[in-house]
Chain A
Amino acid sequence: MALTIEVNGKTREVQADAETPLLYALRNDLGLVGTRYGCGLAQCGACTVIIDGQPVQSCDVPLSSVVGKKITTVEALGSDASLHPLQKAFIAEQAAQCGYCASGILMAAKALLDSNNNPSDAEIRKALERNLCRCGTHSRILRAIKNAAKEMRGA
């Protein structure tokens, strides 16, 4: 069946069953491969996107439930010409090893900073509680998010 969803400000039609997890529609139908599969159980956060301002694990959300909602993926976080402060900070801090977790963490961090532009270290950690990083890049990621928040505040 055809489902219409709004992704990164554009209306897109997807031919798939209503219960198809959003993740597969993003990756395989819309070519937005920056959102990644890690567990399919909403346990690791690699597939985190923002839906109506909230960070959501797209592997565990059926397409039918996101019709009419605003979905933002990592591809719309910034552009190559104008990176989002979080992306700039991740590069400046070299906050990746394999980088597989990066998209989901960036989106969880964006959702946090959009609602709290001056989070404490504990608040950042809490916001990333559902995002796993296996390479152990946590300290750099935490530092990058802190620096991005600072830049966004114009501090």
Chain B
Amino acid sequence: MAQANSTVPARKLPGSLETNRRLERWLSINADGTVTLITGKVEIGQGILTALIQMTAEELDIDVSRIRLRAASTAFSPDEGITSGSRSIQESGLALRHAAAEARDLLLARAAQKLGVTLESLTVKDGVISVRGGGSVTYWELATPDLLAREASFDVTSKLPQEHVVVGTSLERVDIPNKVTGKPSFVQDMQLPGTLHGRICRPPGPGATLKAIDLKEVRQMPGVVAVVRDGSFLGVVAEREEQAIRAERRMARIAQWTPGPELPANDPRHLLTLQAEAETEVISTKGNPDNEPETAGAKQLSAEYTKPYIAHASLAPSCAIAHWEDGKVKIWTHSQGIYPLRGDMAQALGLPEQDIIITHAEGAGCYGHNAADDVTLDAVLLARAVPGKPVRVQWMREDEFGWEPFSSPMVMHMSASLDDQGNIINWGHELWSHAHSTRPGGKGGVNLLAAWHLEKPLPAAKPGNPPLPGGGSHRNAVPLYDFPNQKVTNHLIRRSPLRASALRALGGFANAFAIECFMDELAGAAGVDPVEFRLRHLKDARAKAVIEKVAQMAGWKANEQGDGERGRGIGFARYKNLAAYIAVIAEVQVGEEVRVTKLWGAVDVGQAINPDGVLNQIEGGMIQSASMALKERIDFDKVGVTTRNWDDYPILSFVEVPEIEVALINRPEAPPVGAGEGTQGPVAAAIGNAIHNALGARLRDMPFTRDRIVAALSA
């Protein structure tokens, strides 16, 4: 085995192996014929664990059924930060691919020595190492605990794509059989002996404080074991779940609150009034955007697009279990980042990190920073009142809508000039947004809801905004199109009236929506077909390929016109400008409401580890984005959030969901990238463009409600 050459500086190991170099942190080859796979990434409904099993089995040359997964835990897992940004394949997958390839090398070296043969004479099939001409030994005989007790080496060769037999196949998801037979699958389903049930009574809105409450009558209610009040943090622990709910409802009726600062009107354009506190940065310039060359026949266009606060709205409200013993706490949570959560938790509790053991257990589908972390501190604070007893805290539906972190509202000002040939010669994009990351693990504060309500509140960390190239508010703000002159400006207003954080695609949702709708407006002004217009402004061959593919799938006709009710439109983006390429065509039927009848998608995620898994993610992303574009907006008044249940926040239903057709352009030779988030902007734009194609009216504010259609038609 070649060792890293110490004269070559700054070589990096693949993915998260760079920061978690010990091989035994990732894998264990067991004498019983199994392999334990340990990842710091977590299943959030995206099928990642199945893909990681495939990548590991592939390099080890073992059957996938031999792999056992260990739930991620701060007790033993590699620290892989947060499962987000569609980065798990790149980070955990590439780390495991390398670690498994090295484990195979180490096992082969042992076999060669034991059998007294050369490495070249060995072959492996399902963990059995055979010598050409006779003789064999298995991984399970060769593996000893010291085998992987070492740091990863640099010079390890993993398989070439054409050698793959497991990767690239649609292995069935490992978790689905349990989920369709009703077996315990989620943190909500965990039943530890003696579990008590907790509920939290929240303030009426952000910044409100508890003035008075008579807890005596709550303590006397049936089943109530403990009532916890710490400043404005208020919760109850009861023997039975329905008893905890009843006690919480009583508290909500009798608690007296002092309202917090008045909230502004619910309009994304409120952002424009906060310019004085904006951090303004020009994030891209090309050519001479402020003083473009004079061109005969040039046309200039500008338009303003917006997106409101929207919710993750996971089907299951957040839930966690905490259990204190001897001043230490064990926690089960569906957090996306067990290590960052542990850091914030240690600050909130004043405990050393090693006294907090956090283990991941699945929750319902997670599309970003929801309330998983918050409910965990809730459970820990309530359980502290009943040491020795596990406490399960389940947020109610109104807690989740009222208090989960939302996706920030955004405003995009677009401007461009066309020459007399119908080419874009100058492009401007200015955006206003709050920050898109207030997850635990921020600097200089604690990003957990209950911590802000305590008698001695811990301040929140400064809201973060992931930097480019991935970006946060400015994700996908730099166009992938080739324009001779361009300027993109990010106005970041960190402080948000309602807590804002990461939701699927972050700012990429609204930025790609604005870019792609505006491209259609420009195509219209230039008198050019929208598909042709995009292709002529693109050089990237993979970008062109998905656009051409989706046009072909949908039978797109140049300059096709809607009929006053039915129409079609296209949208495209490369996620973060560095990951998945996705093009979408939407067909809409506009009557009383906008109905999306069909969505076509063409997708290039490089090497597809599990093609059906990619399709499942893409289909889901398309339907969710359609729902957000058509229907979704969080409502609030001067005091707090008024959206409290599914009647207040309708999402696309089974009756309304469109037919979906997705094609995957598989590129086994290209690095694999995530598929979870890339559809957001393209779908919203395709629907906006289809509505325009159908009606001749342009909707620039999401969601595309009936009122807005009526307003646009009468404008």
Contacts and interface: CB of A to CB of B under 8 A. Distances in A.
B393 to A, nearest CB: 13
A33 B242 contact: no
B398 to A, nearest CB: 9
Given A28-B240, A129-B654, A134-B624, A99 B180 contact: yes
A103 B182 contact: yes
B45 interface: yes
A41 B398 CA distance: 10
29 contacts: A16-B240, A17-B242, A20-B240, A20-B242, A24-B241, A34-B181, A36-B188, A36-B316, A38-B317, A39-B317, A40-B397, A41-B646, A43-B646, A44-B315, A80-B181, A94-B172, A94-B616, A97-B617, A98-B44, A98-B366, A99-B179, A125-B655, A128-B655, A129-B653, A129-B654, A132-B646, A134-B624, A136-B657, A138-B652
A94 B313 CA distance: 23
Interface in A11-32: 16-17, 20-21, 24, 27-28, 31-32
Contacts of B394: 37
A46 interface: yes
Nearest to B190: A33
A126 interface: yes
B316 A16 contact: no
B153 interface: no
Contacts of A31: 191
Interface in B621-655: 621-624, 627, 645-647, 651-655
Contacts of B362: 98
B186 A100 contact: yes
Nearest to B182: A34
Q: Which 6 A-B pairs have the closest CB atoms?
A: A34-B182, A98-B45, A136-B623, A99-B179, A136-B620, A98-B365
A135 interface: yes
Interface of A: 16-17, 20-21, 24, 27-28, 31-41, 43-44, 46, 73-75, 77-78, 80, 83, 86-87, 90-91, 94, 96-103, 106, 124-126, 128-129, 131-142
Interface in B335-382: 362-367
A125 B653 CA distance: 9
Interface string B165-201: 0000010110111011111111011010000000000
Contacts of A86: 180
Most buried by B among A39, A91, A101, A128: A39
B255 interface: no
Nearest to A38: B315
B407 to A, nearest CB: 14
A131 B652 CA distance: 11
B182 A77 contact: yes
Contacts, number: 179
Contacts of A20: 240, 242
B315 A132 contact: yes
B646 A37 contact: no
B316 A38 contact: yes
Contacts of A75: 181-182
Interface string B315-343: 11100000000000000000000000000
B593 to A, nearest CB: 15
Most buried by B among A16, A21, A87, A100: A100
B47 interface: yes
A97 B620 CA distance: 8
A39 B397 contact: yes
B532 interface: no
Contacts of A139: 619, 623, 657, 659-660
A43 B315 CA distance: 11
B612 interface: yes
A43 B647 contact: yes
B234 to A, nearest CB: 20
A136 B622 contact: yes
Nearest to B46: A97
Given A24-B242, A94-B612, A37 B176 contact: no
Contacts of A27: 189, 241
B314 interface: yes
Contacts of B313: 134
Contact of A39 (B46, B624, B646): B646
Nearest to A122: B655
Contacts of A132: 315, 646, 651, 653
A97 B624 CA distance: 12
Given A98-B364, A100-B363, A100-B365, 17 more contacts: A21-B242, A27-B241, A28-B240, A33-B184, A36-B186, A37-B394, A43-B397, A75-B182, A91-B176, A94-B616, A98-B362, A99-B185, A100-B314, A125-B655, A134-B367, A135-B315, A139-B657
A24 B242 CA distance: 7
A90 B191 contact: no
Contacts of B620: 97, 135-137
Contacts of A28: 191, 240-241
B208 interface: no
Given A97-B46, A126-B655, A140-B619, A46 B316 contact: yes
B655 A83 contact: no
Contact of B616 (A133, A134, A137): A137
Contacts of A128: 653-655
A21 B245 CA distance: 11
A46 B315 contact: yes
A24 B624 contact: no
A78 to B, nearest CB: 7
Interface string B79-90: 000000000000
